[in-house]
Structure 1
Amino acid sequence: MQYSEVMMRFAGRHNLEEFGEKTLKHLYDGDFDLDKAESFKQFYRRIESELLNHDVIIHNNYTRWFKEAKLTDADVRHFIIQFSVFSNQFLIAQLQKMINAHTIEAMRSSKEILANEIGVLFNDKQNSLDNDSASGLGDITGSIEGGTFHFRSAHFELLARLGERLSLKFEDLGRREHGTPSTLFFCDELIRLYGSSDYATSEAASFAVEHWAAAGFWKELINGLTHYRDNKKLELPLTFFTWHDRLEDNHARHTKEELEEYYFTHEVDEDLFIDKANEMLDGVYAFWQGLDGDRQRLH
């Protein structure tokens, strides 16, 4: 009998079918406490009812409007400016998360994200960067270990090249001075929570950010920008958005498994986790609510 079949039978005997393959293997091999499995299932039920129903995940008015709207030049320019501020300021939060890491593995994980943000390709792919196709950013999985750095692969530069097609100059993008109060609140909450020196807070915020990022809003933005591009007959490079959409689709498959590993290897304060994760999602939601109010004033 194959090892996978043995594990599936093990899962059936112990009612563990909802766990990911890695977690199941650890449980089967005795690395994780089997008695803790039921506690995790109850914890995850709380997450579903107290966190994953947050408005920014299930009811984002701005991205729903953006998906179907007949966007004006002013709509798109304002959106790109604010998103560029968030994207650029995120580097500070990610650097702080790396500095505050509690293990070498966590530090390396944060370095992976930070290095990729500033232009290091995953898996050292030597794709052409002469255009703005998503393939020019390499794979969405793998490691930056031994990867190649390209200025043009930096995520902010992708937004800057898109901004050029909208008559936005480099100096119009990314700086705090261009952020609205709601955008800056979001950026500061990322630094406070996602980049926190308190490990439990940082992990809760990370889970919240990953789950928000995998909730489908990228596709809504791509849909709206594609309609705008086609209606205006513009050459508008959407690589920043299409690549992140692919990346987050991949991350979505691993988010719960990462939470499982965290739960089985740490003593988790469940109330604190849910509270801090909700604080992070409140910060994210403030960003989108700000954009939603701005677009109503523009119209």
Structure 2
Amino acid sequence: MTAKRALFSVLVAVPVLFALAGPWLADLAPPGRQAPFGPSAWSPFGTDRLGRDVLAAALQGGRTLLVVTAVTVLCAYAIGFTVGLLAAAAPKPWLEDLLMRPLDVLLCLPSLLIIIVAAVRTSGSTVAVAAAVGLALVAPIARFVRMAARAVVQDPVMDALRMQGESRWHRYGRYAARELARPVAADFGVRVAAAIYFLSSANFLGLGFDPASADWAVTVAANRDGLAEAPWSVFLPGGLIAALVVGLNLLWDDLLADPRALAVRDALRAARR
């Protein structure tokens, strides 16, 4: 593993460990509340506006965000991928239009507007907000998959496979999966980052989780007035969100980098030396 990839891995691992193991570690904190925006007896990060230890709150606040993000993106990608693939393989133009034109209308609507409407109509239901985020992701996913799959469906290799006859669907699927794996994986990483952004934005605006919860985005919004007195009450949860998104994008790009492109880049660097 290169030093660069190790750094990217650490950026992702820290917030993920906070989210997964945090609730058990937070149980080690002493019970009860302390003075708001003051020093803490358990950690050097002080307390938040509710008198909770900042580190204990951060340890408790990431699991829900990660779980909701994972479920939302998986459901949205399952729907968007299916629609995009069907549109790319549609034998008639009118069938493709039937599948894609409603999504084009959805794509014109601002994503945050969809989330706000869902939150207001359901009194801030977490399920409704997550469903609205998923709905906002379906249209761009379907368009991307249709574009990527259309190039595969119209590839001369597919024409050759169609002419071979027996077991053709098995070979179609294997070839298509191989060609689509890298672009779809890259797009999946982008959608994960987008889902974290939308969910965090909704929680920051008070549209999602309980305003008294320890969720990282909710904590940032709740403690922003005490930034001068207790900066860690904002910097720690905000930094965990930023580390997760930035680290995930950098690590994903590094893992999915085309080996041929990397070889050309390294050769050019060696030639310049």
Does TM-score exceed 0.5, indicating one fold? no
More helix by share: 2
TM-score by structure 1 length? 0.31
TM-score by structure 2 length? 0.33
Of the two, which has the highest radius of gyration? 2
